[in-house]
Amino acid sequence: MATGLGQYGFGSKTHRYADAGKYFVASNPTPGTGVIGMVSTTSDNTKPTLLFKNGNTVASGIRCYLDYLRLCCTVVGVGHTAPKVTFGLDVSQTTTRYTSGGSSITPVNVNGDSTNASAVTFYFGAVTAAAAGSARLINSHAITSGAIEVVYDTFVFDFGAPSHSMKASLIDNTTTLTHGYFSEPPVIVGPGQHFTAIIWGASNSTGITWAFDMGWVEV
133-187 pLDDT per residue, tens? 999 999 999 998 778 898 999 999 999 988 776 665 556 555 567 778 999 999 9
In a domain, 1, yes or no: no
Strand stretches in 130-173, DSSP E: 135-142, 154-159, 168-171
In a domain, 103, yes or no: yes
22-52 pLDDT per residue, tens? 999 999 989 989 999 999 999 999 999 999 9
Residue 157 · residue 85 · CB < 8 Å: yes
The count of domains in the chain is 1
Q: How far apart are CA 200 and CA 137, in angstroms?
A: 15
Sheet containing 84-90: order of strands: 98-105, 120-129, 50-54, 194-200, 84-90, 135-142
47: Cβ–Cβ under 8 A, 6 or more apart, which residues? 38, 39, 40, 127, 128, 129, 198, 200
Amino acid 164: pLDDT: 73
Amino acid 120: pLDDT: 98
Q: Which phi and psi (to 5°) does residue 16 adopt? A: -65, -35
Amino acid 207: pLDDT: 95
Mean pLDDT, to the nearest integer, of 196-215? 96
Q: By residue range, what is the domain housing residue 107?
A: 21-67+76-148+187-212
Helix, strand or coil, per DSSP, at residue 89 = strand
Mean pLDDT, to the nearest integer, of 197-211? 95
104-121 pLDDT per residue, tens? 999 999 999 999 999 999
Amino acid 205: pLDDT: 93
Give the pairing type, strands 194-200 and 50-54: antiparallel
In a domain, 60, yes or no: yes
Amino acid 146: pLDDT: 76
Amino acid 1: pLDDT: 43
Amino acid 27: pLDDT: 97
Amino acid 15: pLDDT: 86
**Higher-pLDDT residue of 65, 15:** 65
Q: What is the pTM of this model?
A: 0.90
Q: Which conformational region is residue 51 in: left (phi greater than 0), alpha (psi within -120 to 50 degrees), or beta?
A: beta
Sign of CA dihedral 141, 146, 150, 154: negative
In a domain, 4, yes or no: no
In a domain, 168, yes or no: no
Q: How far apart are CA 87 and CA 139, in angstroms?
A: 5
Amino acid 165: pLDDT: 67
In a domain, 195, yes or no: yes
**Higher-pLDDT residue of 5, 140:** 140
Q: Compute CA distances 177 → 70, 92, 171, 212, whole Å.
A: 16, 39, 6, 17
Q: Which phi and psi (to 5°) does residue 81 adopt? A: -130, -10
Q: Compute CA distances 1 → 4, 8, 20, 61, whole Å.
A: 10, 12, 17, 14
- Mean pLDDT, the chain, rounded, equals 90
In a domain, 217, yes or no: no
Report the range of poorest mean pLDDT among 55-64, 99-108, 123-132, 136-145. 136-145
Q: Burial, 121: exposed, middle or buried (Cβ in 10 Å; 0-12, 13-18, 19+)?
A: middle
In a domain, 95, yes or no: yes
